[in-house]
């Protein structure tokens, strides 16, 4: 395909999700990656509840759940001693269909996403590197270089260059994004001074029990996440100053003794090991004209909380339905400005939050050491017993509390629910209000009785109307009886109309420039 609607650069989770959501909406795409093959190692593990909710739109949520591992508890260690156990289980029960912390390695995750993309007849074009691109009022023109084994002229830098035109280009090409560089967008922030490691191991011992483990020592911290209940786990942490002084030639043997001692491990096999430096940065803009940045190309932060990959996936889904709307001629380019407004605000907040948490974890200050070894190990298990604390922490980590209340695409309040918020999960008996959200489409929800005028309006616009018989459970979640909730394709509420009448919906579409045929 020489002239796709969208050229997606990068075939990591963000790029694959972007491609999938566009293809599912009937948009032609081309997805390239300069790597010769998909990754067999990765750092990202956690799949948050909000990501799983949205994965229902591609019928892959249950596959991800069945192939991954549910974390039952987190254990806290300090100076080699077990300080406490925090049961997690279904910590978010009542908030989402996926009330747990789920582990699914990024390499397996990517293979599942790519297989799903292949089922739509789209292949990732590997050994294709973006060299440059330009744009005008109607399209972008990109220069792509064939690299690696597919190059027919390995000694001629210009012979393997091809040109690709597309309506839009989306950079899902990581922290060293070519799309961002060519667009001239600054990447403000800094690099942490510490060196970090990540190891994929197989072993045994008290910490290889299917649960998560975190150590808070005076001089270091480590995180262990299991893949299963048996023997395989991922361990990451900061390398202490003494070990880091050895330079860039660090090996697993340099960190293994402390790892074995601190986590009481018997390591039988090391599948892979790597070191890296972490950054905290946010791009000055998330798009220029027809070029957009998604995931690490737009923001990068510490690995605290397992937020990075999930945030990139959220970016992709937010942008994909807007691109599809514009490409189909239902809205002008101004709709795309809301992508940066909605996602950059969250990215900045996330970087600040994870930066603060990371500084506590790695700081060498006396206060931080006391906090890690004498306060957190004892206070955290106690706080975890309080329902409000558990739900609040889960809501933030799982990303179900992300909202776009301040967006130009959000308006109104009905009950305690505002435009821009995620539609709350409200199962009543055998009726699940999230079932209709499997479709990537605008729709209207009414909890109670739908007004005749609203029914006629939905029919005229061919917008699905879902009416749920009123129940007290809906009131407990903040929903208003007989109100009308207009829901975006990404399942966030666009308009919360307390009257239940549709007049405000027409004005809303006019205000955002959405044309309905």
User: Average of pLDDT values for 427-432?
Assistant: 95
Over residues 438-475, the pLDDT tens digits come to 999 999 999 999 999 999 999 999 999 999 999 999 99
411 forms beta bridges with: 495
User: Percentage of the chain with pLDDT > 90?
Assistant: 65
Which whole-number Å values give the CA distances from 12 to 102, 112, 114, 447, in the listed order? 19, 12, 9, 39
Please list the helix, strand and coil fractions of the chain in percent, rounded to the nearest 5, in that order: 35, 25, 40
Minimum mean pLDDT among 125-139, 247-261, 376-390: which range? 376-390
State yes or no: pLDDT of 1 exceeds 50.
no
Least Cα distance to 477 among 391, 408, 385, 389 occurs for 391
Structure tokens at 165: 């035109």
Output the pLDDT for position 492.
98
Q: How far is CA 68 from the centre of its chain?
A: 17
State yes or no: pLDDT of 402 exceeds 70.
yes
d(CA 274, CA 250): 9
- Long-range pairs, 135-144, Cβ under 8 A, ≥24: 135/169, 135/289, 135/290, 135/291, 138/167, 139/165, 139/166, 139/167, 139/290, 140/7, 140/165, 140/166, 140/167, 140/168, 140/169, 140/290, 140/291, 141/165, 142/7, 142/166, 142/169, 144/32
- Computed from CA positions of residues 265, 266, 268, 274, in that sequence, does the dihedral angle turn out positive or negative? positive
Decide: helix, strand or coil at residue 178.
helix
User: Percentage of the chain with pLDDT > 70?
Assistant: 88
State yes or no: pLDDT of 245 exceeds 90.
no
Over residues 148-186, the pLDDT tens digits come to 765 665 555 666 899 999 999 999 999 999 999 999 999
Dihedral of the CA atoms 4, 7, 13, 16 (nearest 10)?
10
State yes or no: pLDDT of 34 exceeds 90.
yes
Instruction: Give the CA radius of gyration of the chain.
Output: 24
pTM to 2 decimal places: 0.92
Q: What is the DSSP string of 63-97?
A: HHHHHSEE--EEEEEETTEEEEEEE-SSTTTTT-S
Quote the strand ranges of 79-148, DSSP E: 81-87, 102-103, 125-126, 128-135, 140-146
> In the structure, what pLDDT confidence band is assigned to residue 39 with cuts at 50, 70 and 90?
low
Which whole-number Å values give the CA distances from 335 to 240, 282, 324, in the listed order? 48, 22, 11
Which residues, other chains included, contact 81 with Cβ-Cβ below 8 Å and sequence gap of 6+?
A: none
Which whole-number Å values give the CA distances from 219 to 106, 360, 366, 373, in the listed order? 29, 12, 11, 10
Q: Which domains does the chain have, with CATH numbers?
A: 6-63+104-190+280-350 (3.50.50.60), 69-97+193-277+363-402 (3.30.9.10), 411-512 (3.40.30.120)
Which residues, other chains included, contact 373 with Cβ-Cβ below 8 Å and sequence gap of 6+?
A: 78, 79, 216, 217, 218
Q: How far is CA 376 from the centre of its chain?
A: 27
Output the pLDDT for position 228.
85
Round the average pLDDT of the chain to a whole number and report it: 89
d(CA 332, CA 461): 19
Output the pLDDT for position 378.
67
Minimum mean pLDDT among 108-112, 195-199, 296-300, 329-333: which range? 195-199
The C-alpha angle 233, 88, 43, rounded to 5 degrees, equals 35
d(CA 66, CA 49): 14
Over residues 269-288, the pLDDT tens digits come to 999 998 887 778 999 999 99
Over residues 483-501, the pLDDT tens digits come to 999 999 999 999 999 999 9
Minimum mean pLDDT among 90-99, 145-154, 298-307, 429-438: which range? 145-154
Output the pLDDT for position 174.
92
The more confidently predicted of residues 227 and 80 is 227
214 forms beta bridges with: 76, 223
d(CA 33, CA 11): 6
Decide: helix, strand or coil at residue 282.
strand
């Amino acid at each position: 395909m020489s002239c796709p609607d969208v050229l997606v650069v990068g075939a990591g989770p963000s790029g694959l999700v972007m491609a999938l959501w566009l293809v599912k909406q009937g948009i032609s795409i081309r997805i390239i990656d300069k790597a010769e093959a998909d990754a067999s190692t990765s750092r990202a593990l956690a799949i948050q509840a909000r990501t799983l909710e949205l994965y229902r739109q591609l019928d892959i949520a249950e596959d991800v759940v069945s192939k991954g591992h549910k974390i039952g508890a987190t254990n806290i260690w300090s100076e080699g001693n077990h300080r406490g156990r925090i049961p997690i289980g279904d910590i978010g029960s009542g908030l989402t269909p996926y009330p747990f912390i789920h582990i699914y390695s990024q390499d397996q995750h990517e293979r599942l996403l790519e297989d799903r993309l292949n089922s739509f007849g789209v292949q990732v074009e590997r050994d294709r590197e973006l060299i440059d691109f330009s744009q005008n009022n109607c399209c972008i023109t990109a220069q792509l270089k064939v690299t690696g084994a597919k190059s027919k002229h390995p000694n001629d830098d210009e012979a393997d260059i091809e040109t690709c035109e597309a309506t839009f280009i989306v950079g899902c090409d990581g922290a060293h994004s070519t799309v961002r560089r060519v667009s001239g967008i600054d990447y403000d922030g800094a690099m942490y001074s510490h060196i970090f490691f990540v190891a994929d191991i197989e072993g045994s011992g008290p910490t290889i029990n299917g649960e998560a483990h975190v150590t808070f020592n005076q001089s270091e911290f480590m995180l262990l996440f299991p893949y299963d209940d048996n023997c395989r786990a991922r361990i990451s942490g900061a390398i202490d100053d003494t070990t880091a002084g050895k330079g860039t030639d660090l090996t697993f043997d340099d960190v293994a003794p402390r790892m074995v001692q601190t986590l009481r491990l018997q390591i039988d096999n090391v599948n892979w090991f790597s070191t890296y430096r972490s950054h905290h940065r946010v791009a000055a803009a998330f798009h220029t004209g027809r070029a957009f940045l998604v995931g690490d190309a737009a923001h990068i932060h510490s690995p605290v909380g397992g937020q990075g990959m999930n945030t990139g996936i959220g970016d992709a889904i937010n942008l994909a339905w807007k691109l599809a709307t514009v490409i189909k001629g239902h809205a002008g380019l101004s709709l795309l400005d809301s992508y940066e407004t909605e996602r950059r605000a969250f990215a900045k907040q996330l970087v600040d939050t994870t930066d603060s948490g990371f500084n506590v974890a790695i700081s060498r200050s006396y206060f931080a050491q006391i906090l890690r070894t004498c306060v957190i190990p004892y206070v955290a298990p106690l706080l975890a017993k309080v329902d409000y604390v558990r739900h609040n922490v889960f809501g933030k980590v799982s990303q179900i509390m992300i909202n776009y209340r301040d967006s130009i695409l959000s308006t109104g309040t009905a009950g305690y629910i505002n435009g821009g918020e995620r539609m709350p999960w409200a199962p009543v008996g055998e009726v699940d209000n999230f079932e209709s959200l499997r479709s990537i489409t605008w729709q209207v929800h009414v909890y109670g009785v739908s007004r005749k005028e609203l029914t006629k309006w939905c029919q005229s616009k061919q917008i699905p109307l879902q009416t749920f018989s009123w129940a007290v459970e809906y009131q407990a979640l903040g929903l208003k009886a007989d109100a009308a909730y207009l829901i975006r394709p990404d399942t966030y509420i666009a308009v919360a109309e307390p009257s239940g009448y549709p007049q405000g919906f027409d004005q809303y579409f006019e205000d955002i420039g959405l044309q309905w045929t």
